[in-house]
Amino acid sequence: LLCFRTSLVAPLILGLLLQSPLAELSIVTQPNIVLLMADDLGIGDVGCYGNDTIRTPNIDRLAKEGVKLTQHVAAAPLCTPSRAAFLTGRYPLRSGMDAINNYRVIFWTGGSGGLPPNETTFAKILQQQGYSTGLIGKWHQGVNCESRNDHCHHPLNHGFDYFYGMPFTLISDCQPTETPEMDRVFRRRLWVYTQTIGLVTLTAALGRLTGLISVRWKMLTCLAGFSLLFFIAWFSSYGFVRYWNCIMMRNHEVTEQPMVTDRTTSLILRESISFIERNKHKPFLLFLSFLHSHTPLLTTEKFLGRSSHGLYGDNVEEMDWMVGQVLDAIDKEGLKNTTLVYFASDHGGWLERQEGKRQLGGWNGIYRGGKAMGGWEGGIRVPGIFRWPGVLPEGTVIDEPTSLMDIYPTVVHLAGGVLPQDRVIDGRDLMPLLQGTVEHSEHEFLFHYCGIHLHAVRWHQKDSGAIWKAHYVTPVFHPPGAGACYDRGFCPCFGEGVTHHDPPLLFDLSQDPSEAKPLSADTEPLFDTVIRKIGRAIEDHRRTLTPVPEQLSLYNVVWKPWLQPCCGMFPFCWCDKEGDN
């Protein structure tokens, strides 16, 4: 019996001794997880994706020490829906986080829309698995539902133990020296209406005084009252955007209102490193959601003028430095080999964001289009980099379709959690692909929405290697051929600003990643077959959709004074608790 046992044990010991270090470390359970997400960063802005003029040595180091994805795509081309999909692993229209109107993101901290409380984020599952979970930086998924302090959409109600950052998003209105950005055209229109009503009121009053117009004083009083009420109605929100939207919070407490932009970068970095240091003795999830590289491009003096791409390039280089500081903190605590680090952007760069001759938005490399464009690659193809020494192979490049939604099942699996069984999860576990145990991505079809409108679909034909992409709707660029909607500032999803294609525009991204040469039945023998196959996939996909409340409806996105987070007695909302400390 002893000999028999020895004969079984000896090969087992020999096999373990002969295992590669990669295999040994692959059994590490519950790694620390650090998710780094840039804001509005174009895939062409990063060195390891081809940029040789903006310096990103720390992001490039991640790619050199890990796995770089070349077909990593966002589920939406704008912040709010893309991040909702990232957090839930589901297309944003499944949670009501895609819009039927032109208000396609959370517009006010004091709005009532946001990530529904019944959605299960990966943070919530990891929290249940014993992880310490923290979100530092941008949220942009709403705050309140019915009262100022219900915090139904707040990060702490979605699985994060700790939150420090902006419940909204960075906008130029947060910087007093910058030109206002939020609803700029609509705001100008409101000023014109106000001036017109005021001019009519003044003209009528002068006419009454001079006897040229026969009008009662009561009518004039009513007209003047209406003018005043109209002005107050819109100026009470748009006149104080910096106070209502540009705020910082720590957990449930407002700490800066308005935020002091000069120190935001240092505070976010300090909080990130502090979270790592506090939680180094147990598994942790850190989601560092950068405010870089969104306008107004907050950049400290140390980095101003360093790049050859103006303020935008300076801002990207500062973000890369912050990435390096976080990586150094992980190394310092001896956590490098037990930490999965992921870097991505929430969507493509904003081509139309300009002030005069200054380009304030990102560059999307060879890919057509940009932010807000639901179908074109430039709006949705983003950097995607994973590093986990000893578990993921170094210097690997994977040219397979993957999605930001894939992070959800990937981290849930690593934490030992179970995916929700009562809803559709659109993401796929990436670990087999990242480790090289499978050759192809699990995604056969990916659906590209602009708001709730399906603009394009890609089909990964795995047996041939072709990646077909059919565009059913595309934006109308202005000026023609410019590659963006410079007349509007954003490309629309529907209406006069788009073109519908029947048959759809078809590209093979494996041969034409820039989407420059549409195929036709005359030039592509498989054209009809591919279009039919994608059409059936759309029908199957739509059968999985169920009606849900619209979080970005007009009612939900408008400012509601009773929902506005306030660190004083509303409307006297002002505080600087960081300065006091």
Cα radius of gyration rounded to whole Å, the chain: 26
Q: State residue 349 phi and psi, 5-degree precision.
A: -70, 155
Q: Which whole-number Å values give the CA distances from 35 to 248, 405, 480, in the listed order?
A: 21, 13, 39
* Conformational region of residue 155, where left means phi above 0, alpha means psi within -120 to 50, and beta covers everything else: alpha
Is 485 marked active-site?
no
User: Is the peptide bond preceding residue 547 cis, with omega within 30 degrees of 0?
Assistant: no
Residue 180 DSSP label: P
The active-site residue out of 3, 48, 72, 79 is 79
Give the H/E segment covering residue 316: helix 310-332
CA dist., res. 266 & res. 32, Å (int): 23
Strands 445-450 vs 453-461: parallel, antiparallel or unpaired? antiparallel
Residues 6+ apart with CB under 8 A from 233: none
Q: Which of 267, 274, 79 is nearest to 165 (CA)?
A: 267
CB 504 within 8 A of CB 531: yes
Residue 173 CB neighbours (<10 A): 24
Is 448 marked active-site?
no
Residue 442 DSSP label: S
Burial per residue of 271-309, b for 16 or more beta-carbon CB atoms within 10 angstroms, e otherwise: bbbebbeebbeebbbbbbbbbbbbbbbbbeeebeeebeb
CA dist., res. 328 & res. 302, Å (int): 19
Residue 21 DSSP label: H
The active-site residue out of 3, 48, 72, 140 is 140
Q: Which whole-number Å values give the CA distances from 322 to 123, 207, 283, 325, 408, in the listed order?
A: 23, 64, 22, 5, 24
Report the Cα 382 to chain-centroid distance in Å: 11
Report the Cα 124 to chain-centroid distance in Å: 19
Q: State residue 266 phi and psi, 5-degree precision.
A: -65, -35
Q: What is the DSSP string of 325-384?
A: HHHHHHHHTT-GGGEEEEEEESS---TT-EETTEE-S---TTSS--TT-SSSHHHHEEEE
Token pair listed for 62: 């991640």
Burial per residue of 91-128, b for 16 or more beta-carbon CB atoms within 10 angstroms, e otherwise: bbbbbbbbbbeebbbbbbbbbbbbbbeebbbbbbbbbe
The residues annotated with a catalytic role in the active site are 79, 140
